[in-house]
Amino acid sequence: MSELILHHYPTSPFAEKARLLLGFKGLSWRSVKISPVMPKPDLTALTGGYRKTPVLQVGADIYCDTALIARRLEQEKALPAFFPEGQEMIAATFAAWADSVVFQHAVSLVFQPASVAVRFGHLPPEAIKAFLADRAGLFSGGSASKLSAEQARHQWPTIMARLEQQLQREQGDFLFGAPSIADFALAHCLWFLKATPVTAPLVDAYPAVAAWHARVMGFGHGASSDMTAEQALDVARTATPAALPDEPFEEPFEEPNGFEAGQQVIIAATDYGVDPVAGELLFAGREELILRREDERAGVVHVHFPRFGFRIEKR
């Protein structure tokens, strides 16, 4: 069985979500540290241009976006489940809302001037400028709109008051009783805020939320060991991609826009980080799209994307 390889960097909120997912499952994994900013030549050799963090590699299969990474880890180890039976729709839909709406608020609050001064105070001004310029590029060209700090501060009490009430009344220790993907999708946004004393009170002022957040963080990150980017590329180059999912391409699910296996297409995120990835469409299922591509450094790889939040076009 191929090792789980996570391409990430320590301060990425979505990478923290992935690390918690691995910890919840009690999985061992290899850690490849990547740059927080472009260029990322070793990562994009695997993905074909997708630049967002994190990326999960399993042999010659490359999984983009934490929503799909969670589903791949569910295949790796079914229990404990991210999508508890009977709550699949609730958990996945709440997670998508947290990953977009709550994350958007967290980003706006974290990048207020007072927070930036503390968070990046140890860096030289040129590095801060380069990071902010990279993020401006990351959030351009997609559907994600910038939320002003004023509006984020205005709406934040509503989000947190609802969450506090939910947790006070929930019979279990987590959002919907048992832990699920919903908890991890929300927790990483609050983890981002708790990174500096400027924004930590936005979480800590709510006792039930703070206690819940501590429980989620208590799952830890599993057991990791370091791997170099070159070693990860060697793994991809010498591995054979896994068999395609045991789900018919068209039946009982019919591809709504008529795409067929073997077509040359591009796939890209729609919200931000919209860099397109080109390749041969191998599979389009209810949740997942798979492209075949070949790279001189990575060899033949299958790049996996979620259907939700991504677009596909003919080349």
How high is the pLDDT of residue 101? 97
* Of residues 202, 213, 36, 187, the one with CA closest to residue 109: 202
How high is the pLDDT of residue 165? 97
How high is the pLDDT of residue 38? 93
Give 261-290 as a DSSP string: TT-EEEEEESSS----EEEEEEEE-SSEEE
55-to-18, 50, 281 alpha-carbon distances in Å: 9, 9, 19
Q: What residues contact 294, with CB distance under 8 A and at least 6 apart?
A: 300, 301
302 in Cβ contact with 241 (< 8 Å): yes
Residue range(s) in the chain whose domain bears CATH number 1.20.1050.10: 88-217
**Which tokens hold the place of 189?**
């946004």
How high is the pLDDT of residue 142? 86
The answer for 309, left when phi > 0, alpha when psi is -120 to 50, beta otherwise, is: left
The domain defined by 4-80+223-314 folds into Glutaredoxin (3.40.30)
Q: Is the dihedral of CA 236, 48, 34, 67 positive or negative?
A: negative
Q: Does domain 88-217 have CATH number 2.40.110.10?
A: no
How high is the pLDDT of residue 143? 87
Tens digit of pLDDT at every position of the chain (315 positions): 689 999 999 999 999 999 999 999 999 999 999 999 999 999 999 999 999 999 999 999 999 999 999 999 999 999 999 999 999 999 999 999 999 999 999 999 999 999 988 988 888 888 888 888 888 888 888 888 889 999 999 999 999 999 999 999 988 999 999 999 999 999 999 999 999 999 999 999 999 999 999 999 999 999 999 999 999 999 999 999 999 998 765 555 678 899 999 999 999 999 999 999 999 999 999 999 999 999 999 999 999 999 999 999 999
How high is the pLDDT of residue 254? 74
Strand-strand pairing, 223-226 and 28-33: parallel
pTM to 2 decimals?
A: 0.95
Q: What residues form DSSP beta bridges with 288?
A: 306
25-to-134, 179, 220, 299 alpha-carbon distances in Å: 33, 11, 10, 30
Residue range(s) in the chain whose domain bears CATH number 3.40.30.110: 4-80+223-314
The phi and psi torsions of 104 (rounded to 5 degrees) equal -60, -40
How high is the pLDDT of residue 253? 61
How high is the pLDDT of residue 49? 96
How high is the pLDDT of residue 99? 98
